[in-house]
Chain A
Amino acid sequence: MTTIAPGSSEERAATRDSEHVERIKKAQDPGVSRAEGWRRRGPLLPALIFMIIVTQIPFLFTLYYSTLSWNLVRPGSRRFVGLQNYLDVIGDSTFWQVAINTVILIVGTVLISVVLGLLLALLLDRAFLGRGLVRTLLITPFLVTPVAGALMWKTAMLDAVFGIVNWVLSPFGVHNVDWVSKFPLTSVMINLVWQWTPFMMLLILAGLQSMPRDTLEAGRVDGAGAFQLFRELTLPHLRRFIELGVVLGAIYLVNTFDAIYMMTQGGPGTASANLPFYIYQRAFLGFDIGQAAAMGVIVVIFTMIIASFALRLIFKSFTGKEEAA
């Protein structure tokens, strides 16, 4: 990290004898001497070093493992194979099916929860009796331990015979549908949408409540209808919040594991497995460290694409606070 060694850059600037560079530096950091710089850095270093060790080193190992043919249950099987694991993964049709499942789960869950979250946020933005209580009820699914929530959906909600969902739908001619084994991916998604809609609602509600009332008032005076107001004023204002919800939701949902583990175990076959679950299977049930690591690297690349959007958005929200408010 460059943060740790700023002294060297200072010296370089001095030896270059470039007063201009020095002046710019002074302006950026008025009155920060070298000792003061270290005093300022002091509180940051423990956290920074801890994070580098705990989060970066394992990823380097993953990169290294992905070049090995290594099966845990066959001692002595560990040898360097270069990019062979990546070729095997790309040639593995299950991998592609699982990758598609991953995308379906993320896109489906994010889209549905954003739409539901938007509707709920619009409802909650109005004044009514017990609004705080309804908000509390609505955020609860997001707080409930995901493993417990998934268990509830698998058993009490979606069970073929005793499940509440079938009981509620029975007047509409739905009888004894075994949701989890007939529609495994959909069942998982129902659970995830239930869990993530509150998240989207909270973000969008924060957006609605930061909306300047006088703009809406002005629009109303100008004779705009409710829908027109929503489309022309509210929605553009909410855009930033919805975008943030989408990217954050996607990043968190890439890691979906609990729901699949508890509800379907990826089955039947790999019908409802996503990449984290498949990697887990390959590593901890198949003991194929090399290929699992290669898949891990591929997931990282995939996530980095989404993350680059997310980082940009979050930084924009921070620095562009004034113009947005």
Chain B
Amino acid sequence: MSTSVPQAPATTQASSADTAKVQKPKRKRRKFSPWGVVAWIVGLGFFFPVFWMVLTAFKQEVDAYTTTPKFFFVPTLDEFKAVFDQGVGTALLNSLFATTVSTILVLALGVPAAFALSLRPVRKTQDALFFFMSTKMLPVVAAIIPLYVIVSNIGLLDNIWALIILYTSMNLPIAVWMMRSFFLEVPGELLEAASLDGASTWRAVREVILPLVSPGIAATALICVIFAWNEFFFAVNLTAVQAQTMPVFLVGFIAGEGLYWAKLCAAATMAALPVVLAGWVAQNKLVRGLSFGAIK
């Protein structure tokens, strides 16, 4: 570490990179700081409900119900088994299906649209962008009544395809804006150069542009997965038993105050785990998705 400081001026990089190099070890050397301890405590505090949820999922019900919280116990998988007996399988498959198919649809519609709004912009690009975002800002509650009427009239009530269509429309604006921000990072000359070489636009896009934005596509997909998996409002109003998703399955646990916290936590863990993992993987791109690409 310390040797890098005298070495830095010797490198042939730009001066700004040099100063960054010199600064970095300086910042890293102060590894232990009291503020670090504070950050750890707060971080663990925020994480605690999640930790407790996972921990309780491995308890017996007697261990889950204690006035003094129990941190040590004999772990068991009984409650996960009980959740499966209660039919979580269907809900898991429904969630998986709705999330996967809607995300594929979002990318299939959104990536070309983002391209048409960035590298090869159409006229009225601003208007189109504005339209996409404004759909995201209208409260869904104002649309739910006609949606319910329409969906039941075309016989899609309690049908997973109703959710797939709605999840696609829910995530498409985010995907368009987010992918656009990735496309805009691609140097425009690249596309020009490829076109001059005689390649068709489509080939240029496929062979030059798409590989460059593929990390962006992956991040966009993960964010769509998170939102689709977690969605509850449409799911609870438009599905019942057959097409219920994981969040709707959890509704079964609010009624009454029975002695089944461990089972509740097992079900909640199964609902939350996939998206938490997806979010951890995508965490560096999370801000970009949430701010419609406005913040990198």
What residues of chain A have their CB less than 8 Å away from a CB belonging to chain B? Answer: 1-3, 6, 29, 32, 37, 39-44, 46-48, 50-51, 54-59, 61-62, 65, 120, 123-124, 126-131, 133-149, 151-157, 161-162, 164, 167, 194, 197-199, 202-203, 205-207, 210, 213, 241, 244, 248, 251, 254-255, 257-258, 261-262, 265, 275-276, 279-280, 283-284, 289, 292-293, 296-297, 299-300, 303-304, 306-307, 310-311, 313-315, 317-318
**Residues A29 and B145 in contact in the complex (CB < 8 Å), given A141-B50, A156-B49, A241-B295:** no
Residue B65 interfacial (CB < 8 Å): yes
Contacts of A129 in B (CB 8 A): 31-32, 36
Pair A257/B233 contact, Cβ less than 8 Å: yes
B291 touching A314, Cβ below 8 Å: yes
Given contacts A40-B121, A258-B233, A299-B141, contact A197 B110 (CB under 8 A): no
Verify if B208 is at the interface (C-beta below 8 Å from A).
Answer: no
Q: How far is the CA of A55 from the CA of B286 in the complex (A)?
A: 25
Distance between A281 CB and nearest chain B CB, rounded to angstroms = 11
B36-85 CB contacts (< 8 Å) to partner A = 36, 38-40, 42-44, 46-50, 52-53, 56, 65-69
| Chain B, range 78-109, C-beta contacts under 8 Å to A | 109
CB-CB nearest in chain B for A61: B146
Interface residues of B in 272-296 (CB under 8 A from A): 272, 275-276, 278-280, 283, 286-287, 290-296
Chain B: how many interface residues by the 8 Å CB criterion? Answer: 107
- A255 CA to B143 CA in the complex, in Å? 12
From A307, which residue of chain B is reached at the shortest CB distance?
A: B137
Query: Besides the contacts A255-B139, A296-B143, what 15 more A-B pairs have beta carbons closer than 8 Å?
Result: A1-B131, A47-B112, A47-B113, A54-B165, A123-B38, A126-B33, A151-B254, A164-B48, A206-B287, A210-B296, A244-B291, A244-B294, A251-B137, A284-B148, A284-B237
Task: Provide 23 A-B residue pairs closer than 8 Å at the C-beta atoms, listed in order of the A residue.
Answer: A1-B127, A37-B123, A48-B113, A48-B128, A57-B146, A61-B146, A127-B33, A137-B46, A139-B283, A141-B47, A146-B247, A148-B53, A148-B250, A152-B268, A156-B265, A162-B261, A164-B69, A255-B140, A262-B251, A283-B144, A293-B146, A296-B145, A300-B138
Whether B169 pairs with A155 at a CB distance below 8 angstroms is no
Chain B: CB-nearest residue to A298: B142
Decide if A311 touches B279 in the complex (CB within 8 Å). Answer: no
A6 to B226, CA, bound (A): 37
- Checking B36, B147, B254, B287 against A262 with a beta-carbon cut-off of 8 angstroms, the contacting residue is B254
B135 at the interface (CB under 8 A from A): yes
Using Cβ atoms and an 8 Å threshold, which residues of chain A touch B39? Answer: 120, 123-124, 126, 128, 131, 134
Assuming the contacts A128-B36, A206-B287, A317-B294, asked whether A138 and B67 have C-beta atoms less than 8 A apart, the reply is no
CB <8 Å contact, B46 and A138: yes
Complex Cα–Cα for A126 and B36 (A): 8
Interface flags, B217-258, vs A, CB<8A=1, else 0: 000000000100110110011000000001100110110000
**Inter-chain contact B172/A152, CB cutoff 8 Å:** no
Is B130's CB under 8 angstroms from A311's CB? yes
Give A154 Cβ to nearest chain B Cβ, in Å.
7
Contact: A51 with B135, CB < 8 Å? yes
User: Closest residue to B274 on the A side, CB-wise?
Assistant: A145
Q: Mark out the residues of chain B between 14 and 49 whose CB falls within 8 Å of any chain A CB in the assembled complex.
A: 23, 27-28, 30-33, 35-36, 38-40, 42-44, 46-49
Contact status B247-A299, CB under 8 Å: no
Q: Is the interface of B mostly helix, strand, loop or mixed?
A: helix
Chain A residues within an 8 Å CB radius of B144:
279-280, 283, 296
How near does chain B come to A74, taking the closest CB pair, in angstroms?
Answer: 15
Contacts of B150 in A (CB 8 A): 58, 61
Give the shortest distance, in Å, between B187 (CB) and chain A (any CB): 16
Which B residues are in CB contact (< 8 Å) with A62? Answer: 142-143, 145-146
**Pair A145/B264 contact, Cβ less than 8 Å:** no
**B133 & A314 in contact (Cβ 8 Å cutoff):** yes
Q: 8 shortest A-B CB distances, which residue pairs?
A: A128-B36, A43-B112, A296-B142, A61-B146, A143-B279, A47-B113, A44-B116, A307-B137
Q: How far is the CA of A6 from the CA of B49 in the complex (A)?
A: 55
Cβ–Cβ < 8 Å partners of B237 in chain A: 280, 284
CB proximity of B194 to chain A, nearest CB, Å: 16
Assess A292 versus B145: contact at CB under 8 Å? Given A46-B109, A143-B279. Answer: yes
B113-129 interface with A by 8 A CB criterion: 113, 115-117, 120-124, 126-128
Q: Is B161 an interface residue (CB 8 A)?
A: no
Query: Contact at B46–A47, with CB atoms within 8 Å?
Result: no
Return A35 CB to nearest CB of chain B, in Å.
13
Question: When the two chains form their complex, are residues B145 and A289 in contact, meaning their CB atoms are under 8 A apart?
Answer: yes
B295 partner residues in chain A, CB cutoff 8 A: 203, 206-207, 241, 244, 317
State which of A56, A151, A207, A296 has its C-beta within 8 Å of the C-beta of B141: A296
State which of A32, A143, A147, A152 has its C-beta within 8 Å of the C-beta of B247: A147
CB within 8 A of B250: which of A44, A48, A139, A151? A151
Residues on the B chain within 8 Å of A6, using CB: 123-124
Chain B residues with Cβ below 8 Å from A56 are: 135
**Which residue, A265, A296, A311, A317, has most C-beta atoms of chain B within 10 A?**
A296
Is there contact, CB below 8 Å, between A307 and B134? yes
CB contact under 8 A between A255 and B113, given known A143-B276, A314-B294? no
B149 at the A interface (CB under 8 A): yes
> Which of the residues B109, B137, B246 comes within 8 Å of A47, measured between beta carbons?
B109
Minimum distance in angstroms from A270 CB to a CB of chain B: 16
A289 to B120, CA, bound (A): 45
